[in-house]
Amino acid sequence: MWEHLAEELWAMKLGLRLLQERAKTGSFWWPYISNLPETYTVPIFFPGEDIQNLQYAPLLHQVNKRCRFLLDFEKEVTRQVGELKLQDHPFGGADVDASSLGWAMSAVSSRAFRLHGKALQNGNRGDVPMMLPLIDMCNHSFNPNAEIVQEQSSSDPKMLVKVVAGMNIKEREHMTLNYGCLGNDFFLLDYGFVVPSNPYECIELKYDGGLFDAASMAAGVSNPSFSSPAPWQKQILSKLNLEGEQALLKVTLGGPEIVEGRLLAALRALLANDSETVQKHDLNTLKSLSNEAPLGLANETAALRTLIALCVIALNHFPTKIMEDEALLEKGVSTSTELALQFRIQKKSVIIDVMRDLTKRVKLLSSNESLASQN
C-alpha cells in the first residue's frame, strides 16, 4: 500500500509543477505543455460502466484508490491555496480540482521517466522522475530499438540525457523504448494501453486456505490441509511469508514463472504426507517449477491439479467468455470500452495459457508414472 501511495505522491508532485507551468503566462515550457494530450485513456477517466467492464477486482481496487486519492488531494490543495491572494496563488488563480489533478497525474505517469539523480551519501544515486520532451514520444516495446542514456562529465555538473539507437532504424520507423517488464495492470493504469500477448501478464489470487481446499477437492485431491496445516507446514508457510501478521497473501499465476514460487512451494508442502520428505529440500527447490516432482510424482500431480482447479475458479469469476468479448469488439465500441475488453481478454487468455501448460505437465507426469510402473 505504501509503495503505491509513494508512487502517487511523486507523480502528483511533478503534476503540480506541470499545472503551475500550464497556468503561467509565457512559460518556457508552454510549447511542450500545449502539445500534451487534452485527455488520457487511463481508467480513472473511464465512464463507470467501463470501469466495471474491466471485470478484474485487483485493478478495480487500484482505480478506485487512485480516484479517492485525487478527491482527497483536491480538498488539500483547496485548503492550502483557497485564501491566497491572486499574486501569491501558485496556479494563477485557476481552480485545481480532481479533474485537472487527474490530467496532471496521467500526464506524468504516462510520460515521466525515472532517471538517476544526485549522488547519495552511500554512493548510489536516487531515482528522480523527469519529463523529457520529445523523448517521451517514443512508444513502448519489450524489444526496443533504442535506450535512454545519461551522461555527466566531471567538469560539467549538468546531466545530459539522450536516446541512443541500439540498431539500424529505417526511415519512418518508430523509435521504441522499454517502459518496463510490466503486466497490463500497470500499462493500462499508468499509460492507457494494453499489450497483447504480454509475456509479463499475470493474475493475482489471494492465498486463502478455504479457497485452496475447495480447489484441491474439485481436482480430486484427497485430504487437503490448506485450512488446517500441521505445525511443521505452518513453519514453511511462515518462511514463504504466507503465514503470520505481516504475511503477503497476494500470489500470482502467469508471467515468466507461470506459477509464483511461493505458491508452488506452499502447495507442494501442504500436499506432502510427512515433514521429513519436505525438509530434505530447500525452499528454492520447492519454489521452482523447473525442478520436476521434488516430492514425488503423486505430490506433483496433486499440486498441479490443484493449480488447474484454481485457474478454473479464477476464470469463472469473469462473467463473460473471450468469444463474447471478441464479438463485442467487432461491433465497434468507444475507446474506453475497447480497452476494457482488450484488458479482460488478456487476463482470461493468461489463465487459459497457464491451464494448458499445467495440463501438459500433468500428462507428462502420468506417462512417466506409467513407465515407472511397467519397469
- The domain limits of the chain are 2-191, 202-374
Q: Is the dihedral of CA 206, 209, 214, 218 positive or negative?
A: positive
Kindly state the DSSP code that residue 123 receives in the 8-state scheme. S
Q: Under a CB-based contact definition with an 8 Å cutoff, are residues 192 and 40 in contact?
A: yes
pLDDT, one tens digit per residue, over 125-150 is 557 778 888 899 999 999 999 999 88
Kindly state the DSSP code that residue 136 receives in the 8-state scheme. G
In this structure, of 69-83, 205-219, 284-298, 357-371, the range with the lowest mean pLDDT score is 357-371
117, three cell numbers: 539523480
Question: Which residue has cell 487468455?
Answer: 349
d(CA 339, CA 336): 5
pLDDT at site 34: 93
As assigned by CATH, the class of the 2-191 domain is alpha beta
What is the separation of C-alpha 344 from the centre of its chain, rounded to a whole number of angstroms? Answer: 14
DSSP 59-84: HHHHHHHHHHHHHHHHHHHHHHHTT-
| Residue closest to 354 by CA, chosen among 252, 207, 261, 240 | 252
pLDDT at site 1: 34
d(CA 37, CA 76): 26
pLDDT at site 371: 60
Q: Under a CB-based contact definition with an 8 Å cutoff, are residues 148 and 78 in contact?
A: no
Kindly state the DSSP code that residue 36 receives in the 8-state scheme. S
What are the backbone angles phi and psi of residue 177, rounded to the nearest 5°? Answer: -125, 155
Buried b (16+ CB within 10 A) or exposed e, 16-29: bebbbebbeeeeee
Q: Under a CB-based contact definition with an 8 Å cutoff, are residues 135 and 161 in contact?
A: yes
Q: Under a CB-based contact definition with an 8 Å cutoff, are residues 110 and 191 in contact?
A: yes
pLDDT at site 369: 66
DSSP 160-225: EEEEEESS---TTPPPEE---S--HHHIIIIIS---TT-TT-EEEEE--HHHHHHHHHHTT-SS--
Average of per-residue pLDDT values in the chain = 89
- Looking at the whole model, is its pTM more than 0.85? yes
pLDDT, one tens digit per residue, over 29-71 is 999 999 999 999 999 999 999 999 999 999 999 999 999 999 9
Q: Under a CB-based contact definition with an 8 Å cutoff, are residues 15 and 100 in contact?
A: no
Q: Under a CB-based contact definition with an 8 Å cutoff, are residues 345 and 325 in contact?
A: yes
Question: Which residue has cell 468479448?
Answer: 325
- Which residues is 131 bridged to in the sheet? 112
d(CA 370, CA 373): 5
pLDDT at site 19: 93
230 φψ region: left (φ > 0), alpha (ψ -120 to 50), beta (else): beta
Q: Is the dihedral of CA 187, 191, 109, 50 positive or negative?
A: negative
pLDDT, one tens digit per residue, over 311-343 is 999 999 999 999 999 999 999 899 999 999 999
31, three cell numbers: 510549447
d(CA 257, CA 202): 10
CB atoms within 10 A of CB 285: 14
Where do runs of H (alpha helix) occur along the chain? 2-23, 30-33, 48-52, 57-81, 98-111, 184-186, 209-218, 231-239, 261-270, 275-279, 283-287, 297-316, 322-331, 335-374
Kindly state the DSSP code that residue 149 receives in the 8-state scheme. E
Q: Give me the count of residues in the chain.
A: 375
Please state which CATH number belongs to domain 202-374. 3.90.1420.10
pLDDT at site 118: 59
